[in-house]
Structure 1
Amino acid sequence: MWYNNILETIGNTPLVKLNKVTKHLKGTVLAKIETTNPGNSIKDRMAIKMIEDAEEAGLLKPGGTIIEGTSGNTGMGLAMAAVVKGYKCIFTTTDKQSKEKIDALRAFGAEVIVCPTNVDPEDPRSYYSVSSRLVKEVPNAWKANQYDNLSNAQAHYEQTGPEIWAQTEGKITHLVVGVGTGGTISGAGRYLREQNPNIKIWGIDTYGSVFKKYKETGVLDKAEIYPYITEGIGEDFIPANVDFEVIDLFEKVTDKDAALMTRELARQEGIFAGNSAGSAIAGLLQLGKSLKEDDLVVVIFHDHGSRYMGKMYNEDWLRERGFLKDKKLTAQSILQKRGDQDTIMADGAQSILETFNLMKALNISQIPVTQQGMVVSKVTESDILNALLDNPSLKSAAVETIASKVFPFVDLNTSIDKISTLIDKENQAVLVEDVHGKINIITQYDIINAISEI
């Protein structure tokens, strides 16, 4: 058996039982692994549905251009279909999206325009506004408009919902979904509710998004809106695809909990999923006290972990945001192992000879140079030697005249791996400010000494 094109492979994704991350919950928890779609995301389903409905309605014509504001996954589905069907694509996205997502869209030949995240949807710079402007300017263009195009939810009513019902033999009691455009939870949820009105539909939201408060109060509170890191869920407006009548409740999950749970899915379940899967499981754990032994919970795993390699699966990225309790050595742990030491510095106004004598007396090969108490540069033995070979009379000149670029600064949470990459022939040390505001210098010797004590 074979398929006529890649689009025919969309759907029929597996349900996989979770065994470890949900071990303290009652009932059975199944993950709907949407990464097995050809575009590695659930968005393939609604992308092809929106295109086919637009073709049928005469909105998308042969040789046309598909325009959309997308965080990456919908764009992937649209771009894949466009290749098969002969359309061009222009996508707008936000600067919070991972580089991997943007690169993937460009791999399909799409044009991608990156817009600022921290602006209102109505702002002409927002990725919503830019996509709306382009659809007016580009000839023979059609905007998919995944947020308000009800073909989005309809795709999940026709496909995802029936699949889940059949795969669970009608035994599903809860559907848990991270909510972005709202199409998945609303479409699948509506179908499942028609089969059994008692099924609970739980939406997962993020802090900085408006869904939870809007569901509970009917108020779109702009004071709730602020930038967040979690990708794929949450919004600062209400998409038409979000059917609040279908959704029983929303649960908010922090960026940190979402990121760390995303990693735990890989480490404990062997499932390499995206950020919204981590959010959904973290949210389920927060809500899990209400579950019973005979409950059967289905959680949607929207997309693949490969799109988050520079973020949730990057330990340095997590450390920089304080999300990871570092088991590796950091600048802080290196300083702790070394013990308190005075950092010797040279005032930029003192002479080259005076500085050299200081370095010789202390047996150090490099020294930070300050101006008015601020570290502004550095000088090494090589800097001094080269200067005096060129002009011996320079020994009485100010050391700042031969100083070179300052050592790199790192923070206390910077990993030993990162520090090691910064120390090279040009920079033989790094500087770090401790919790008391004191400037410390970390050399290659300090790193070797710290490693040897592990």
Structure 2
Amino acid sequence: MMAFGFGFGENTPGEGREGRRRRSSAPRHRRHTELLSRKPLVVRLIEKREDRHRAHQHPTPMMRSGSRGASCLLHHPSGTTPSSLGTPPRRATTHSGHRMQARCFAVRHHTRRESEWRGQMGPPEYTPRRIIKDNVFADFASLVGNTPLVRLNTASLISGCQIYGKCEYANPGGSVKDRPAVYIIRDGEERGLLGKTVGVDTVVEGSAGNTAIGLALMGFTRLYKTVCVIPNTQSPQKKDLLRQLGVQLVEVPPQKVWHPNHFVKLSGRLAERIGGFWANQFDNVANRRAHYETTGPEIWEQMEGRVDAFVSSVGTGGTLAGVGMYLKEKNPRVKICLADVPGAVLHRYYTTGEARAEGSSITENIGQGRVTANLEGFRPDFSFEIPDYESVPMAFQLLEAEGLPMGFSSGVNVAAAIRLAEKLGPNKRIATVLCDTGFRYANKQYNPEFLSAKDIPYPEWLDQHPDPQMEEKLQEAQATQEQIDEAIAMNAHKSTSPDSKV
């Protein structure tokens, strides 16, 4: 429930145009002081409603459909409608520039005051997806999900199957991690662990970056602060983005998963020390539930129930387990495949029963050293380990052949989908996840020196060497000195001409 601009400044009964003119003639600083001293509009409306209720001991009469100012108010998430708040104030007119400046100042101030009041009253109730009408959504959380599904033509041609990518980079935060971020915050509020009403307004998480971005964006809508404990080996692009979103970064050296100072364990202890809410994406099954309730149903609907297999890499395990569990319930014959990377243990754990890591990978956000709570009770049908020399070229192939600038993890997923297609045979329909773009890893993915040092192949165009022929054509295309002098003289003549508009 929020008032948009143009309606602040309530008229008293019988006041009209003269009263508004008297207020507008006051000094600007005094008008600002008056605006600042008022309670937020939403508070005044509710207090007015409560006063009427106490006086007459019956519900507030409904607002007439044609009441002035009804369009100023939006539907509140908790279900309170504008009609139950009484008649809002009349719109004040704005004519001169200085009055508009004062009004803009008031809008900014009261929007902040209303946000503070809303936070003190506790978070509103949310439905899974709040839609005003087709393709018009009510808030950030409603924008998360319902991402497109794209056919990957080159991968399909190579494999002989139909391979589709779920475009999770189309989420507002730019990655698949927006889904668990929304669910984790809602789950914390529902369990009374997070919110203004319980005195906890800081979300703490150990994250490689993408989940913290989603938490920060969702946190903005709930007036929460975000603290992210992040390995200092993560890309500077992600860390810069987190800082730009107001996240307090705590960079720590990378450690083995069993180490007491592993970034995830450290984030849990930090949350306890500062009295914050630990998101704990790795063992918070709200993560898995996000994909079970949204990603899985979306894939099933978009593919019209004709799904033969689903492929996903694992960071927390939420995507693989959540989508896999849903698709298995719809059709037990659907095959679920793990796409793992060297240095992680899950591929060997599921294929040999031994949780042992070998090798290393330059990929970020994926690769797990243990069975998380999100993976408990779930087991994939297939598992492949995709090395960097296979996944990175696949990411570049998505860019060159499909126009999709995907990151490392998407390359891992598509490469595993092609391998799975060879196992299943032709004409199968396989879905996978396009997690995020490669721009968040530009210092690695688009760095030829880095890739060369790792002995990873990359496209020739990544070497930005000057083209001699292009330089020659550029010289020919440039204007001569005589043409430049002529243009200068003509411009000077136009600027001194009486008919010039300059």
Within 2, Cα distance between the matches of 1:328 and 1:172?
A: 37
The residue type paired with residue 106 of structure 1 is R
2:316 corresponds to:
181
The answer to whether 1:148 aligns with 2:283 is yes
The one-character-per-residue Cα deviations of 1:294-326 (angstroms, maximum 9, x if unpaired) are 311101111122212111122232122221367
The answer to whether the 8 Å contact 2:313/2:340 transfers is: yes
| Structure 1: stretches of 5+ with no match in the other structure | 330-414, 421-446
2:18 corresponds to:
none
Within 2, Cα distance between the matches of 1:66 and 1:187?
A: 23
The answer to whether 1:75 aligns with 2:206 is no
Within 1, Cα distance between the matches of 2:249 and 2:338?
A: 30
Which of 2, 12, 19 is the matching residue for 2:153? 19
The residue type paired with residue 207 of structure 2 is T
Within 1, Cα distance between the matches of 2:262 and 2:140?
A: 32
Within 1, Cα distance between the matches of 2:464 and 2:325?
A: 51
The residue type paired with residue 299 of structure 2 is I
Within 1, Cα distance between the matches of 2:147 and 2:458?
A: 35
The answer to whether the 8 Å contact 2:340/2:346 transfers is: yes
The one-character-per-residue Cα deviations of 1:16-51 (angstroms, maximum 9, x if unpaired) are 011113412122111111111101111111111011
Within 1, Cα distance between the matches of 2:458 and 2:320?
A: 34
The answer to whether the 8 Å contact 1:96/1:229 transfers is: no
Write out the 4+ residue segments of structure 1 that deviate beyond 4 Å after TM superposition.
325-329
CA 1:145–1:288 in structure 2 vs 1: closer, same or farther (change >3 Å)? same
1:105 corresponds to:
242
The residue type paired with residue 94 of structure 1 is P
Deviation at 1:152, TM superposition (A): 0.5
CA 1:27–1:54 in structure 2 vs 1: closer, same or farther (change >3 Å)? same
The answer to whether the 8 Å contact 1:315/1:324 transfers is: no
TM-score by length of structure 1 reads 0.69
Deviation at 1:284, TM superposition (A): 2.2
Which of 123, 128, 133 is the matching residue for 2:264? 128
Within 2, Cα distance between the matches of 1:25 and 1:226?
A: 27
The answer to whether the 8 Å contact 1:32/1:300 transfers is: yes
2:179 corresponds to:
45
Summarize the alignment of residues 20-419 of structure 1 with structure 2, pairs less than 5 Å apart.
20-62=154-196, 63-117=200-254, 119-139=255-275, 141-221=276-356, 224-225=357-358, 227-243=360-376, 245-324=378-457, 327=460
Deviation at 1:281, TM superposition (A): 1.2
Local SS of the residue matching 1:24: helix
The answer to whether the 8 Å contact 2:396/2:459 transfers is: no
CA 1:88–1:195 in structure 2 vs 1: closer, same or farther (change >3 Å)? same
The one-character-per-residue Cα deviations of 1:2-22 (angstroms, maximum 9, x if unpaired) are 433222111101110111134
The answer to whether the 8 Å contact 1:83/1:108 transfers is: no
TM-score by length of structure 2 reads 0.63
The residue type paired with residue 271 of structure 1 is L
1:3 corresponds to:
137
The answer to whether the 8 Å contact 1:90/1:110 transfers is: yes
Within 1, Cα distance between the matches of 2:265 and 2:351?
A: 28
The answer to whether the 8 Å contact 1:215/1:244 transfers is: no
Deviation at 1:243, TM superposition (A): 4.2
Local SS of the residue matching 1:309: helix
The residue type paired with residue 120 of structure 1 is K
CA 1:64–1:323 in structure 2 vs 1: closer, same or farther (change >3 Å)? same
The one-character-per-residue Cα deviations of 1:91-150 (angstroms, maximum 9, x if unpaired) are 011133211111111111001112222x222324321232122012102x1111111000
Within 1, Cα distance between the matches of 2:296 and 2:229?
A: 29
CA 1:243–1:301 in structure 2 vs 1: closer, same or farther (change >3 Å)? farther
The residue type paired with residue 123 of structure 1 is H
CA 1:121–1:23 in structure 2 vs 1: closer, same or farther (change >3 Å)? same
1:435 corresponds to:
none
The answer to whether the 8 Å contact 2:268/2:280 transfers is: no
Local SS of the residue matching 2:154: coil
Instruction: Note the aligned Cα RMSD (angstroms).
Output: 2.3
Within 2, Cα distance between the matches of 1:160 and 1:50?
A: 15
CA 1:103–1:272 in structure 2 vs 1: closer, same or farther (change >3 Å)? same
CA 1:76–1:12 in structure 2 vs 1: closer, same or farther (change >3 Å)? same
Deviation at 1:261, TM superposition (A): 1.2
1:381 corresponds to:
none
Local SS of the residue matching 1:31: strand
CA 1:328–1:61 in structure 2 vs 1: closer, same or farther (change >3 Å)? closer
Deviation at 1:244, TM superposition (A): 6.0
The answer to whether the 8 Å contact 2:350/2:379 transfers is: no
The residue type paired with residue 269 of structure 2 is R
Within 2, Cα distance between the matches of 1:321 and 1:194?
A: 42
CA 1:271–1:244 in structure 2 vs 1: closer, same or farther (change >3 Å)? farther
Within 2, Cα distance between the matches of 1:258 and 1:320?
A: 16
Deviation at 1:217, TM superposition (A): 3.2
Deviation at 1:227, TM superposition (A): 4.1
Within 1, Cα distance between the matches of 2:367 and 2:343?
A: 8
Moved more, 148-157 or 56-65: 56-65
| Structure 2: stretches of 5+ with no match in the other structure | 1-132, 473-502
The answer to whether the 8 Å contact 1:328/1:416 transfers is: yes
Within 2, Cα distance between the matches of 1:416 and 1:146?
A: 40
Local SS of the residue matching 2:364: coil
Which has more strand, going by share of residues?
Answer: 1
2:25 corresponds to:
none
Kindly tell me the number of residue pairs found equivalent between the two proteins. 333
